Amino acid sequence: MKNRELFLRDPASSALMNNGQARINDGLTEQERDTLREELSNFVCEGQYEDGAIRILESYVQHFGGSSQPASWVSGFFGSGKSHLLKMLCHLWVDTKFSDGAGARSLVPDMPDGLVANLKELDILGRRHGGLHSVSGTLPSGANESVRLTVLGMIFRSKGLPEKFAQASFCLYLKNNGFYDQVKAAVEAKGKDFLRELNDLYVSPVLHDALVDVDPGYGDRKAARATIKAEFTQPDDISTADFIRTIREVLSVDGQLPCTIIVLDEVQVYIGDEQDRARDVVEVAEALSKQLDSRVIVIGAGQNALSSQAPHFRWLQDRFTIPVELSDADVETVTRRVLLQKNPSHVAEIRQCLELHAGEIERQLSGTRIASNSNDRKIIVEDYPLLPTRRRFWENVFRAVDPTGTSGMLRSQLRIIHDALHDLAEEPLGTVVPADFMFEQLQPNLVQQGVLLRELDETIRKLDDGTPDGELKRRICGLIFLVRKLPRDAGFDIGVRATPEQLADLMVSDLREDGSNLRRRIPQLLDQLVDEGILLKDETEYNLQTKEYSD
């Protein structure tokens, strides 16, 4: 039996549509709708994802009609699934519809009862108070744009208006005076795109002529242009009072504010070390929470919990009072449910195979902190073809080679496991993912980020001369690089070393034959690599030599 036959999703043909990375936006092109549908159909609403979504909804329902709507802060390492959770929550909030009539909520498998119950409560509030609405976007890193204008831009976009304040204000003026449809039709009758002409608000002759045609009071094109320039300017910032007034004007339906969720992604990155930005975010969150009839809930997202931040981040604690923290356990759950879920009819065969080769599996990395343990038996079938020891090794390597978290653990694991399953799809049952596969996948990023010197990168690549020994030498050196990146400080050392025995343990792929073969070949190839000046033997283990060190 081949590996591809074991999974609910055929790894040889299935695609990871969003490359393992959810992007928070309101855009719903045909391709984005297909991606969204795939994300909803594979949303694993368990663990902290389930708990966080339910607590956010419960808080909203409980505080509806009160004096304030508490805001939420979703935290977790970069790539832990924050954006994915928040994107799913936005579409579940409004039950986004697809062309075949299916709603977002109907697509999520095994939606928890608690989440279903709270969404029903939300629907009741929506029917009574102006409907349901969602707004989402990412705060721009390094930009000096006003937080108020940035959030307003997200709200404008969610209602089909231009993001810029001047253009959106002009559209609101047209709508309020009953001119919008007429001006839009007149512009399009000239073969022009209305939204594109709005981008040229101050200089578009077609737009100005259309305005004069529907409202002769403007006089002529020149007069209309002068009036627009004077009345619809683009400010650097606006007051909180104007911010709230504009939101009411944009969102209100028949005089009522709808039940609205506003998601602000990457708040921590936006604030950085700027105290003024932290104050602005707090002011905006407070205004949204207190001045909109408790109809709006704000959710901010960042890598770390607010309590662990610099003093100016702690100002956010008093406003963002619903903490949701995502953990490593959530990453494991997602990878198991999205990529590794097995066909129930083959579970017994997988278990039988793994028990047959239990001796090989349990001997690997023995004596280290990530060696096989009794708990592995509960998850080994779920994790197949990724052995539990290899998963733990990968998690430690991720933190070692990417201490800032910029590569994203969930995103990287989804991508790497997806590609590994694809590569092993045609292999027989009993073929597992070798630990060095991770190096092959991360190699370009490691070079780009300066973690792997270009000199070493070229040396490792050139080892593969098309022969079996050349390929194995390249794999050995890539794995040695990862192992030597692991910390060895007290409390952080997991005990993995670049010794012949442990390198072989990590590189076994075919559980039936690789073990004895690799334990025989690897010591011979390591000696050759030392003789060639590629490796340096350091007592019982090995390290890569740079040219500088070799000289």
Taking only the tens place, the pLDDT of each residue in 118-169 is 999 999 999 999 999 999 998 886 667 889 999 999 999 999 999 999 999 9
CATH superfamily, domain at 30-164+234-325: P-loop containing nucleotide triphosphate hydrolases (3.40.50.300)
Structure-token pair, residue 251: 């969102």
Tell me, rounded to whole angstroms, the distance of Cα 315 from its chain centroid: 26
Ranges under pLDDT 70 in the chain: 15-28, 77-80, 141-143, 304-313, 327-331, 403-412, 547-551
Is 220 within 8 Å of 212 (Cβ atoms)?
Answer: yes
pLDDT attached to residue 538: 84
Which residues, at least 6 apart from 94, have a Cβ–Cβ distance to it below 8 Å? 104, 132, 133, 134
Tell me, rounded to whole angstroms, the distance of Cα 446 from its chain centroid: 20
pLDDT attached to residue 304: 66
Element (H, E) at 263: strand 259-265
Is 233 within 8 Å of 269 (Cβ atoms)?
Answer: no
CA distance linking residue 316 with residue 285, whole number of Å:
9
Give the closest residue to 133 by CA, choosing from 49, 270, 45, 259.
259
Q: What is the DSSP letter of 138?
A: E
CA atoms within 13 A on the CB side of 254: 5
CA distance linking residue 424 with residue 414, whole number of Å:
15
What are the domain boundaries of the chain? 30-164+234-325, 165-233, 339-550
Structure-token pair, residue 279: 């104050």
pLDDT attached to residue 406: 46
Is 323 within 8 Å of 306 (Cβ atoms)?
Answer: yes
The arrangement of strands across the sheet holding 132-138 comes to: 132-138, 259-265, 296-302, 71-75, 320-325
